[in-house]
C-alpha cells in the first residue's frame, strides 16, 4: 500500500478542503438507482455470484478516481492511497450479526472473483472479529438485500474526519424491462463535490453497460494471427479432434486420446462448459486462408490466479511454427483479460513444447516431476511460469 501525500500549499483544492473539514464540517450522501440489467444477465448466464461482481465494478471506479481514495494519514498529512480495497459485510442469519471481510482489489475480474471466494471460505464463518486488516486503504460496502430503498444516510458521531466513501446496496428490483439496484454513496464534502460524485455514478453505469459486452466479445469471438484463426471450440470440430488427436499427439500430455467420435464430443462438451462458466477458454487452431483444422489451444483453470496454458498441433502440421503462433494469439487474449502470468506444463522429453516455454523466457518452477496419467503413462513434467508482456 502506498500513501501519496499531497503538497497542501500547492493543492488546487486547499481552500475547499479546509472549509468543509474545519469551518463547516460536512458529509453528505446520495442514493441512485443503477441499471444492472446487463450485469445480472451476465452473472446468471455464467454462474457467477452477483454481489462480488458488482463489488468488483464499484472497486474498479473507486480506483480510477483519487478523491474516493483520500484519507488523513497517521501523521495528520492529507493524501490518497495508490489502491483501495473493498471491505464488505457478511450476514449470519442464525445470530443476526455480521462479519467484516475485505478482499484485495485487482483489475483482473476473474482474479478478483477468485480472491473473493478464498476470503469467503476463510473468514465468512467467523462470528466474532473479521479478516485481519493489513492497512488503512479500505473502503466499506454494505448490502441490505432484503429491501429496496430510495434514500439512505449514515450518521457517524466522528464522521467529520472520515474521508473515505461508504457504499450501501439495496435489493435490486424490476422496472419494466430493466433491473435497477439502489446504491447509496456517502462522501465527505472536503474531498468530494457533487461533480465528483455524479462522475462516479456515471462512470459506474457506463462500466456496467460496457464491461459485460466487452468481456463477452473478447472471449467469444475469433482470434487472429498472421496465418491463423483461433475459433472458440464447438461441436463443429468433433470429427477433426477425433481424427487428429492421436496417441502420438497425446504421448507427452496428461489428457488421453479420444478413441471414438462420441469421446471427442464429450471432450468438446467439457471445453464448451468451461467457456460458459468462464473457467476455461479453448480454441480450434485453423488456417486463416483455408479454414483447415490444425489443432487445439486454450487457457483453463481460471479459479486460480494464474491459469494454465495448453496446445497441441496435428502431426502433418508439425515443424511449421503453428504452436508458437497460436501461443501469440492466446497471449493477446490473456492481456485483454488482464492476466499477468500463465502456467505451462510440458514433458522434459517434448523438445518442441519446451522450446515454446524457453522462447518466452519461462521460469521453471517444477523440474522433472513424475506424473502417472489416467491411462498409465509416466510423464516427467516440467512446469514453467511465463509472464504476459
Cα–Cα distance measured from residue 47 to residue 41, given in angstroms and rounded to the nearest whole number? 10
By the 8 A CB rule, do 338 and 108 touch? yes
The cell numbers describing 26, all together, are 460536512
Sort 177 into a burial class: Cβ within 10 Å, 0-12 / 13-18 / 19+: exposed
The cell numbers describing 192, all together, are 468530494
Q: Where are the alpha helices (DSSP H) in the chain?
A: 14-18, 37-45, 50-62, 109-123, 194-220, 238-244, 261-277, 322-336, 351-359
Q: Which of 19, 92, 189, 235 is catalytic?
A: 189
By the 8 A CB rule, do 101 and 118 touch? no
Up-side HSE of residue 325: CA atoms within 13 Å toward CB? 21
Specify the residue for cell string 473493498.
Answer: 86
Q: Which helix (H) or strand (E) holds 154?
A: none
The cell numbers describing 382, all together, are 516440467
Residues contacting residue 347 through CB under 8 Å, at least 6 positions apart = 252, 253, 353, 379, 380, 381, 382
**Known catalytic residue at 92:** no
Give the catalytic positions in this structure.
189
Amino acid at each position: 500500500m502506498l500513501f501519496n501525500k499531497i503538497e497542501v500549499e500547492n493543492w488546487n483544492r486547499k481552500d475547499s478542503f479546509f472549509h468543509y473539514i474545519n469551518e463547516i464540517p460536512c458529509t453528505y450522501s446520495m442514493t441512485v438507482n443503477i441499471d444492472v440489467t446487463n450485469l445480472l444477465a451476465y452473472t446468471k448466464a455464467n454462474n457467477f455470484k452477483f454481489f462480488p461482481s458488482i463489488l468488483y465494478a464499484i472497486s474498479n471506479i473507486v480506483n480510477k478516481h483519487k478523491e474516493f481514495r483520500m484519507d488523513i494519514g497517521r501523521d495528520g498529512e492529507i493524501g490518497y492511497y495508490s489502491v483501495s480495497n473493498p471491505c464488505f459485510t457478511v450476514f449470519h442469519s442464525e445470530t443476526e450479526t455480521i462479519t467484516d471481510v475485505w478482499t484485495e482489489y485487482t483489475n483482473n475480474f476473474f482474479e478478483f472473483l477468485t480472491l473473493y471466494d478464498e476470503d469467503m471460505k476463510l473468514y465468512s464463518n467467523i462470528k466474532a472479529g473479521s479478516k485481519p486488516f493489513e492497512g488503512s486503504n479500505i473502503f466499506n460496502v454494505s448490502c441490505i438485500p432484503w429491501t429496496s430503498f430510495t434514500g439512505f444516510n449514515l450518521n457517524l458521531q466522528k464522521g467529520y474526519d472520515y474521508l473515505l466513501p461508504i457504499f450501501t446496496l439495496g435489493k435490486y428490483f424490476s422496472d419494466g424491462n430493466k433491473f435497477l439496484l439502489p446504491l447509496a454513496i456517502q462522501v465527505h464534502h472536503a474531498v468530494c463535490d457533487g461533480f465528483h460524485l455524479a462522475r462516479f455514478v456515471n462512470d459506474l453505469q457506463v462500466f456496467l453497460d460496457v464491461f459485460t459486452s466487452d468481456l463477452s466479445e473478447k472471449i467469444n469471438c475469433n482470434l487472429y494471427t498472421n496465418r491463423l484463426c483461433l475459433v472458440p471450440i464447438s461441436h463443429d470440430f468433433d470429427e477433426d479432434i477425433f481424427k487428429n488427436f492421436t496417441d502420438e499427439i497425446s504421448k507427452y500430455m496428461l489428457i488421453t486420446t479420444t478413441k471414438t467420435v462420441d469421446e471427442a464430443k464429450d471432450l468438446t462438451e467439457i471445453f464448451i462448459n468451461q467457456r460458459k462458466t468462464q473457467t476455461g477458454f479453448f480454441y480450434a487452431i485453423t488456417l486463416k486462408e483455408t479454414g483447415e483444422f490444425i489443432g487445439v489451444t486454450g487457457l483453463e483453470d481460471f479459479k486460480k490466479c494464474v491459469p494454465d496454458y495448453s496446445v497441441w498441433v496435428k502431426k502433418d502440421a508439425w515443424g511449421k511454427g503453428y504452436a508458437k503462433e497460436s501461443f501469440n494469439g492466446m497471449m493477446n487474449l490473456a492481456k485483454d483479460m488482464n492476466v499477468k502470468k500463465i502456467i505451462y506444463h510440458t514433458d522434459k522429453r517434448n523438445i518442441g513444447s519446451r522450446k515454446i516455454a524457453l522462447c518466452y523466457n519461462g521460469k521453471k518452477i517444477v523440474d522433472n516431476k513424475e506424473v502417472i496419467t489416467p491411462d498409465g503413462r509416466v510423464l516427467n513434467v516440467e512446469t514453467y511460469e511465463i509472464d504476459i508482456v
